[in-house]
Structure 1
Amino acid sequence: MRTFGKIVVIGAGVLALAACGDKQNTAGSGQSSGAAPASASTAAEAPAGSKGKECTAEDVKTTGKFGEAPTITIPDDCDPPKKLIVKDLEPGTGDGAKSGQQLKMNYSLVTWSNKQKLDSSFDRGEPFDLSLGAGDVIKGWDQGLDGIKQGARRLLIIPPDLGYGKGGNGIQPNETLVFVTDAVSVPTNKG
């Protein structure tokens, strides 16, 4: 894996994990978007093609334990969430990651629109290194990995505004990204 500025060249494909735009607030760990359940009137007001309700972390199914390549199944009966969703699937131990720390992560990425795996460090057998909060990665990672502990497996559902927005580097415009991440290495906080 070679890094060129904010673009990471991985194997034969290119997956840019570059940050763009201003910082934005996100849903807290384990929280869904906070949207009210869909009712008959909500469904009637939903945009064309809408399922009438936003998905939550519980709607996205994953398999596998820490260190194993996960499978990610995106449901057909709800819409992608509009806010960042963060859920620990396995808690990990030790100190939570803080901005400025060097992390080593494994990940698998499935795109919402086609429900297909786009990239996976598990498949390459090489974790991904990043400096948390430094803008090395998309905003959804900088925000969603805050506080992760070593040995944790975390689900990130990242809306377009915290991902690739208008698209590029193999990502379609307005694409919601679903990651399962494993914290291979998180430094111990000294203080």
Structure 2
Amino acid sequence: MRKLGRFIGVVALLTAAFTLGACGSDDDSGSAAGSSAKPAASASAGVGAPTKTHGRECTADDIKVTGGFGANPQIKLPDNCDPPKQLVSKDLVAGSGPGAAAGQQLTMNYSLVTWSDGKKLDSSFDRGKPFPLTLGAGQVIPGWEQGLDGVQQGTRRLLIIPPELGYGKGGNGIKPNETLVFVTDTVAIGN
């Protein structure tokens, strides 16, 4: 199982390449606490293969998460709806204090489950070591940059990230057009 940190380096390079190719597209958008959805371009569900559809997109409420803030979460994905085509963010445990903004240091714990197979791919909880990042510095995938904007210390947040805001065409253990489901705990904001 590869660490998110390794993914981040590749994603930062891909993001930089995409940004140069897109001539300055702006991904900056705020995220309010609670449930929100953010537009993203639609992804083809598979490479050259027809996909089965359930007729409705899943919501944050369709994802079952057990465990409170600080505990290693158990994430169960539904099998009766399709992955969302836009970023979904929902606070499962409310935090307190000012919301995080670009340029601030965050210390995060996370667990990642891939939509296509419902399996855990990575977890800082399993390693027992939170993950540091600077919000807005391009160190993480766009789904984290957007989905963690405004997060408060002590928040457990569910992020459902479509491929365009994740790893797109895949790589480093992520399948092409994969939807990612993260449960994140904001351990600290600031140094």
Fold-level match, TM-score > 0.5? yes
**Which structure dedicates a bigger proportion of its chain to strand?**
1
Q: Secondary structure at the match of 1:95?
A: coil
Describe how 1:1-191 pairs up with structure 2 within 5 A.
10=3, 15-17=6-8, 18-19=11-12, 20=15, 21=18, 22-24=25-27, 28-29=31-32, 30-32=35-37, 48-187=51-190
Q: Is the 8 A contact 1:167 1:174 kept in 2?
A: yes
Query: Which deviations, in whole Å up to 9, do the C-alpha atoms of 1:68-127 show, x marking residues without a partner?
Result: 000111100000000000000011011100001010000000000000000000000000
- TM-score normalized by structure 1? 0.80
Q: Secondary structure at the match of 2:58?
A: coil
Query: Partner amino acid for 2:151?
Result: I
Q: Is the 8 A contact 1:23 1:139 kept in 2?
A: no
Give the number of the structure with larger relative contact order, counting CA–CA contacts within 8 Å between residues 6 or more apart. Answer: 2
Distance across 1 between alignment mates of 2:65 and 2:74: 5
**Which structure dedicates a bigger proportion of its chain to helix?**
2
Between 120-129 and 15-24, the greater mean CA deviation after superposition: 15-24
Q: CA RMSD in A?
A: 2.2
**How far has the Cα of 1:15 moved from its partner?**
4.1
| Partner in structure 1 of residue 21 of structure 2 | none
**How far has the Cα of 1:48 moved from its partner?**
4.6
Distance across 2 between alignment mates of 1:150 and 1:186: 6
How many pairs does the alignment contain?
A: 166
Distance across 2 between alignment mates of 1:182 and 1:128: 10
Distance across 1 between alignment mates of 2:142 and 2:84: 16
Q: Secondary structure at the match of 1:156?
A: strand
Distance across 1 between alignment mates of 2:178 and 2:26: 19
Give 5+ residue unaligned stretches, structure 2: 19-24, 40-49
- TM-score normalized by structure 2? 0.80
Q: Secondary structure at the match of 2:36?
A: coil
Distance across 2 between alignment mates of 1:93 and 1:70: 20
